[in-house]
């Protein structure tokens, strides 16, 4: 029977460790500080930010949420970011995406000081990742490495395939695996014979944003499968097709009217893989936990 890689348990471990680290820093100098900038009324963004602030409160990180008006200009938002760059008690800055369409998001992200870039998305930090120099790493891939490490799944010498090439997950995931001595292939929507390439993977990371794309035909028997997808199904026929062998999941769909599913077919992965992350409860919980770790690491570096 396949091993379920429990992200919630690992998140709780990391937050408990982080709580101790925050207390140590506070005893020496001060607690780390994280500022989240939220522009606009995107409902999902408000939920994400609320969860981030809650995590800060639980472990003792000083946090603040800034909510400038939705009509703020790119120049005004950059000016706000520059004020946060100069603030001594702000260690980490996070501008929640997506921003309203009239704002140049790339220019705003470039304005964040690389040393305060808790998302690890600034080009300088991307370069630090590529060259394996110290610096914040994108939180979701960093969390995936913790899942592999804490479940004692070997990476060195193994074949890893990452499906998806985003700056947020796919590309940084590939480099983190490469730095741990995996042989890495990055795939995407134009990869020829995608199922055949995926079947070569000892470690398969799915980050395409397409519900249940990765079926049994993509999975090598005995592989470790990491599912990054969080797709909300609301179509009954699609849910019936995906959950045909999981009647309890289909019953949950009928009760709630929608359900989360990953990029990996939930029944197929349980049958083919040696270990896999479920959706929900796998990769998702680690993202905020690693944001806390990045904030603490940045604060420790800034304090010397």
Q: Which residues are tagged catalytic? A: 52, 96, 119
Question: Which residues does 225 contact at the CB level (< 8 Å), separation at least 6?
Answer: 204, 206, 214, 219, 264, 269, 272, 273, 275, 276, 277
Q: How far apart are CA 22 and CA 295, in angstroms?
A: 10
Distance (Å) of CA 275 to CA 2, 37, 147, 261 = 5, 37, 11, 17
Q: Report the DSSP beta bridge partners of residue 227.
A: 206
Length of the chain in residues, anyone? Answer: 304
Reduce the DSSP state of residue 231 to 3 states and report it.
strand
**Residue 104 in contact with residue 79, Cβ under 8 Å?**
no
Whether cis (ω within 30° of 0) applies to the bond prior to 280 is: yes
- β-strands 231-233, 259-261: how paired? antiparallel
Question: Which residues does 153 contact at the CB level (< 8 Å), separation at least 6?
Answer: 147, 203, 224, 275
Q: How far apart are CA 87 and CA 132, in angstroms?
A: 28
19 token code pair = 């709580």
Using alpha carbons, select from 104, 159, 112 the residue that is nearest to residue 135: 112
208 token code pair = 């395409």
């Amino acid at each position: 029977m396949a091993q379920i890689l429990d992200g919630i348990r690992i998140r709780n471990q990391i937050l408990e460790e982080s709580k101790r680290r925050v207390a140590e820093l506070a005893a020496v100098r001060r607690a780390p500080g994280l500022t989240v900038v939220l522009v606009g009324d995107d409902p999902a963004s408000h939920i994400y930010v609320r969860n981030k602030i809650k995590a800060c409160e639980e472990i003792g990180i000083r946090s603040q949420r800034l909510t400038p008006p939705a009509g703020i200009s790119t120049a005004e938002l950059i000016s706000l970011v520059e004020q946060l760059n100069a603030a001594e008690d702000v260690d980490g800055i996070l501008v929640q995406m997506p921003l309203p369409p009239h704002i140049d998001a790339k220019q705003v992200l470039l304005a964040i000081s690389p040393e305060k870039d808790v998302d690890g998305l600034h080009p300088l930090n991307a370069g630090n990742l590529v060259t394996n120099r110290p610096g914040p790493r994108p939180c979701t891939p960093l969390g995936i490495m913790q899942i592999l490490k804490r479940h004692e799944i070997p990476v060195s010498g193994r074949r890893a395939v990452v499906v998806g090439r985003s700056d947020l997950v796919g590309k940084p995931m590939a480099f983190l695996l490469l730095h741990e001595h995996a042989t890495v292939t990055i795939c995407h929507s134009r990869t020829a014979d995608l199922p055949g390439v995926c079947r070569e993977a000892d470690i398969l990371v799915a980050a395409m944003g397409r519900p249940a794309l990765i079926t049994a035909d993509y999975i090598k028997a005995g592989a470790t499968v990491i599912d990054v997808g969080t797709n909300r199904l609301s179509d009954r026929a699609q849910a019936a097709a995906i959950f045909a062998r999981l009647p309890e999941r289909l019953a949950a769909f009928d009760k709630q009217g929608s359900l989360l599913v990953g990029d990996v077919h939930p029944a197929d992965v349980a049958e083919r893989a040696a270990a896999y992350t479920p959706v929900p409860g796998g990769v998702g919980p680690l993202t905020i936990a690693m944001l806390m770790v990045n904030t603490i690491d940045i604060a420790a570096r800034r304090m010397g």
